[in-house]
Structure 1
Amino acid sequence: MRAIRAVSAALLAVSALALTTPTATAAPSGGNAPFGFTVTPSTVAAGGRVTLSVTNCATTATASSGVFDTVNIPSGRSATATVDWDAKAGATYQVTFTCNGQSGTTSLRISSATRNPTPAATVTRTTGATVVPGGVRGGLGGSVGGVSTTELVGGTALVVAAAAGTIYVVRRRTEDRQH
């Protein structure tokens, strides 16, 4: 249950961070390219993901940088890229967008905060249920394997001794009150 709460809190924090980070919107170099482009967020930790968008481009555009692999961006859509883990903290890298032979650049800054890699999901397959003979041993905690004859005789003797002691004390009090 704690894991679910922790993951929910982490996703909420990442979502809040993603919604509040500034978006880098750049005019193409040279100022006369007929398309627009954005990198969101404009500052990211090494190993983080950025969303790359292109507007007013009728064909598939590309985005490339020295800090991530070249990404194809379909017309009217966006794409994501994962920043390399070895990106230098505090450095600024150029991202080049290309559409119909024209290109434009913008900057992507690597934050000084490091990001921990998230482990890959593990898939476990089960083939069927395992049936264990016998019922559930509720209250025993699973540490008791069974009752031996010695334990049974000893427990019975203790119960008889307790009952006999109780009867003796009660009868003795009754006798004392009658005199």
Structure 2
Amino acid sequence: MHAIRVAAAALLSVTALTFSAPVAVADDGDGDGDDHNITPFGFSVQPSTISAGGRVTLLLNKDGGCKGSATVSSGVFDTVTIRPGQSSATATVDRDAKPGAVYEVTFSCDGVSGHTELTIATGPPGDPTPVAVPAERGVRAGAGGSVGGFDLKEIGLGATLVAGSVGTAWYMSRRRAAADDS
């Protein structure tokens, strides 16, 4: 009888762990299962939204990955080289960049490359201050996460955990009552 209880508890634990474990997926969304942004070096474009004609800073964290010169290219500015010992460079965005467009910026070093996005803001040409692109929808604030439907896995996991807690409390109280009667 004891083995059945242990097996049931083990099966319940494994099932709960299976449904609650996050799934790690490394995909860039293009369907080929190949992630182009996993590089041994970090990179970013600051600011990530800029008006046409503005200047952006291209940041490269070479720790542990980029030994030589790095090149940064995009369809919206000339190719820039970040030399060894440097961690940043600047680039001027073309004045004829289309407001609202998103351009890919590619960082390449030692045969490895990764990319990020640069958004061209709406605003007067040559204005280096970023102007926010209008959002299509506002945020859903104040709903406490209740908007967006039900997730059956989360409901099932919650019900399982509650049932397990109630069952354990009942079992422990019955066990204690039986020990007190003897």
TM-score range, shorter chain: 0.3 to 0.5
Provide the TM-score with structure 2 as the length reference.
Answer: 0.47
Q: Which has the higher contact order (CA 8 A, sep 6+)?
A: 2
Structure whose CA Rg is larger: 1
Provide the TM-score with structure 1 as the length reference.
Answer: 0.47
